[in-house]
Structure 1
Amino acid sequence: MREGPHRPRRGATTIEEVARAAGVSRQTVSNTLNAPQRVRPATLERVNAAIRELGYQPDQSARSLRSGARRTIGYLVPVDDPLDPNPLMAGFLEALVDAAGAAGQRVLLFRPGQGAADPVAAIDELVAARQVDGLVLADVLHEDVRIAHVARLGVPFVSFGRTGPGEPQSWVDIGNEAAMAEVVRHLAALGHRRIGYLGAAEELPWMAARRAGFLAEAQRLGLSAVATGAADAGAVATGAADAGAAGVGASGAAAEGSVVASVRALLRGPDRPTAVAAGSDLLALDVYEAVRAEGLVVGPGGVAVTGFHDTPLCRHLHPALTSVRLPLRAIATALVGRLLDRVRGEAAPGEGLELPTELVVRGSSGRTG
């Protein structure tokens, strides 16, 4: 009986066996694995065919000892509640592990010890142990102490989120303002002239950008618009005459300290918004609750609602939630690629990389089916 090309072998294949099968030197096999740009295309193809045929697996530990490379990326995991995890960052971690694996890397997760607030010590401990080749950081804040610290250490790093002026621009991010502007245009195209925005109470950079994008595009289009949050005094885009009154309502509701209450206040009165854009999918759930508490419906004939992140819950709501989808796999692949460029000593990029989002339209903003 004939055996397939990937027949099992009794012992581990050696690099010398690969070299003999391909008719090349041991060094050529090594170059194929570690520096393929040095090998002629025809030879590269022949060696890779022998590797596949023989099932050769390089000894990663030996390679690491010789090169000093750990082939491991450190990811400083944002603090989260294991009983109520952030679905966006869980999806990002999945994408990051896949992207690292495709590049022959592993991902080592770490964070400060329980009860510790300063991430610098955790970074120092990992760097001192020489366990990783570089770091991936996420949830980057203004004047983020992590960015400043790893930059001073000279550790290769990339960030999911923008770094500040004067800091290495090794970041990948989405255009939060542009994404929310697209939401506003979508609502305007459906005929909405009075729209609201619900954002988080904290002025996180990405949430602040979404709010700014919402207000700026609403003003450009001449819409009546108001932005609010659980502890927000309200911010009004004065593109239309009735925007001021909506802003007063938002301010009063915010004082109640309830997200749902603040949205309910927006929905009362003759000049209520006919659409509400939320800064996240979880905040959109509060909008759904507020709309129904006011005796209204979400979607056609009621209040249009949109979210942000396109987490799995969007498809399971009734009606399904229109949301902004982040290109998590493209973000992760770009981060890993940029980090490995830094690890190899290649020049750091002069600017960050902004990737486009996609507005996924579902029933909550008017489309049925």
Structure 2
Amino acid sequence: MTARQVTIEDVARTAGVSRQTVSNALNAPHRLRATTLARVTAAIDELGYQPDQSARSLRTGTRKVLGYPAPADNPADPNPLMGGFLQALVSAADAVDHRILLFRCDPARGAGAVAKSFNGLIAARQVDGFVLSDVVHDDARVDALTEAGVPFAAFGRTAPGRPQNWVDIDSAEATATLVARLLDQGHRRICFVNSAATLPWLADRRAGFLRAAAAAPDGAFEIGVPEDDPAALADAIGRLLAGPDRPTALVCVDDWLALTAYQAVRAAGLTVGADVAVTGFNDSPVCTVLQPTLTSVRLPLADIAHALVDRLTTAIEEPASAPTSGLLLPAEQVVRDSTPTRRGL
């Protein structure tokens, strides 16, 4: 008997229970005794039974599908962080028998185009809710889903006055922890290498730096180039390193700016780690390839994805229990050779 031929009646007969008991095992296992549930589960596994998802969708009004507007990316140079998040999201959804539907939604095309991207899926009842990532202030996707009254969960904090069903990492605390470690190592002059992008998570990292670096004995610096021109940024860092009060540590807002910092340190005739400590953020694959390897901050992508799926499925299945506040998760400091222990700087 193949999996496609197996019916719920076959499972009931094999387990020696009623059809309703099998249905309860699939849809409300808490209603069954442990021994009965185990017997039904064993029969399902033995026969290879697969529930008819179409029938279940008609009965419950849900499809067990979550929509995810994939961030725009360059196939020739993909973003490893968001690629990792997508893998974690698919796994988290699969763990609760849900699927992820990818689609394109470009906020740069305006609020009308964004609403159209969502409304087509909503009208066709193709998804039960949505997961968003890279959420920014005044996010048109958040506005469109709030207006439509459709459940969603966001990777990134939504603005006040909008639904607060989000999960994020504490970027400020993660950056402050990096700075505190540098201070404990004896660094007295620390520079923040910033990006020109005006993104909320980058602003949080800057805030964390400023908070912790206020304790630097000889002061803290901040440097950045408006156009995010790597060559111009490298020149600016080089001039700073050539000055009489050069920083002994560079805290970069992300790993890619840390690459520019490495180039500038070497161009100044100095050695990363030995003369100037460097840190990044996001713990991208490049961190372990650089020499010396780069200290960075790792995002708990699996934990984020599981929390988002749990919150979203709760909002779908039990609207009265839907989360009304966000969840901040800690990030992991990954210490490598670019920040060796030093004293007396």
> Normalising to structure 2: TM-score of the pair?
0.92
Q: Distance in 2 between matches of 1:360 and 1:257?
A: 27
Asked if the contact 2:4/2:49 (under 8 Å) is kept, the reply is no
Residue 255 (structure 1) shift:
10
Which residue in 2 is equivalent to 1:83?
76
Matched, 1:348 2:343: no
Q: Give the number of aligned pairs.
A: 339
User: What SS does the corresponding residue of 2:154 show, helix, strand or coil?
Assistant: strand
Matched, 1:69 2:62: yes
Matched, 1:363 2:337: yes
Q: Distance in 2 between matches of 1:323 and 1:255?
A: 22
Asked if the contact 2:131/2:152 (under 8 Å) is kept, the reply is yes
Amino acid at match of 1:107: I
User: What SS does the corresponding residue of 1:226 show, helix, strand or coil?
Assistant: strand
Percent of residue pairs bearing the same amino acid type: 54
Matched, 1:134 2:129: yes
Aligned partner (choices 45, 50, 54) of residue 43 of structure 2: 50
Residue 103 (structure 1) shift:
1.0
Amino acid at match of 1:364: S
Aligned partner (choices 277, 280, 285) of residue 251 of structure 2: 277
Residue 221 (structure 1) shift:
4.9
User: What SS does the corresponding residue of 1:73 show, helix, strand or coil?
Assistant: strand
Asked if the contact 2:72/2:106 (under 8 Å) is kept, the reply is no
Aligned partner (choices 300, 309, 332) of residue 336 of structure 1: 309
Aligned partner (choices 184, 191, 203) of residue 189 of structure 1: 184
Q: Distance in 1 between matches of 2:158 and 2:108?
A: 26
Residue 67 (structure 1) shift:
2.2
Matched, 1:28 2:21: yes
Residue 120 (structure 1) shift:
2.4
Q: Larger RCO: Structure 1 or Structure 2 (Cα < 8 Å, ≥ 6 residues apart)?
A: 2
Over aligned residues, Cα RMSD in angstroms? 2.2
Residue 159 (structure 1) shift:
0.2
Matched, 1:302 2:275: yes
Amino acid at match of 1:123: F
Written as runs of structure 1 = structure 2, the 5 A alignment for 1:96-107 is 96-107=89-100
User: What SS does the corresponding residue of 1:288 show, helix, strand or coil?
Assistant: helix
- CA deviation map 1:16-48 (0-9, x unaligned): 111112221111111111122222222112211
- CA deviation map 1:180-221 (0-9, x unaligned): 000001111111110111121022100011011101111145
User: What SS does the corresponding residue of 2:100 show, helix, strand or coil?
Assistant: strand
Q: Distance in 2 between matches of 1:32 and 1:120?
A: 39
Amino acid at match of 1:109: L
Q: Distance in 2 between matches of 1:10 and 1:114?
A: 43
Asked if the contact 1:291/1:303 (under 8 Å) is kept, the reply is yes
Amino acid at match of 1:338: R
Q: Distance in 1 between matches of 2:49 and 2:245?
A: 70
User: What SS does the corresponding residue of 2:280 show, helix, strand or coil?
Assistant: strand
Structure 1 residues 256 and 288: CA distance shift in structure 2, 3 A: closer
> Structure 2 regions of 5+ residues with no counterpart?
none
Asked if the contact 2:315/2:323 (under 8 Å) is kept, the reply is no
Asked if the contact 2:235/2:264 (under 8 Å) is kept, the reply is yes
Asked if the contact 2:146/2:162 (under 8 Å) is kept, the reply is yes
Which residue in 1 is equivalent to 2:300?
327
Q: Which moved more, 1:37-46 or 1:110-119?
A: 110-119
> Structure 1 regions of 5+ residues with no counterpart?
1-7, 233-253
Amino acid at match of 1:128: A
Matched, 1:17 2:10: yes
Written as runs of structure 1 = structure 2, the 5 A alignment for 1:283-294 is 283-294=257-268
Structure 1 residues 20 and 214: CA distance shift in structure 2, 3 A: same
Structure 1 residues 49 and 367: CA distance shift in structure 2, 3 A: farther
Amino acid at match of 1:26: R
Structure 1 residues 257 and 176: CA distance shift in structure 2, 3 A: same
Asked if the contact 1:231/1:257 (under 8 Å) is kept, the reply is no
Q: Which moved more, 1:187-196 or 1:113-122?
A: 113-122
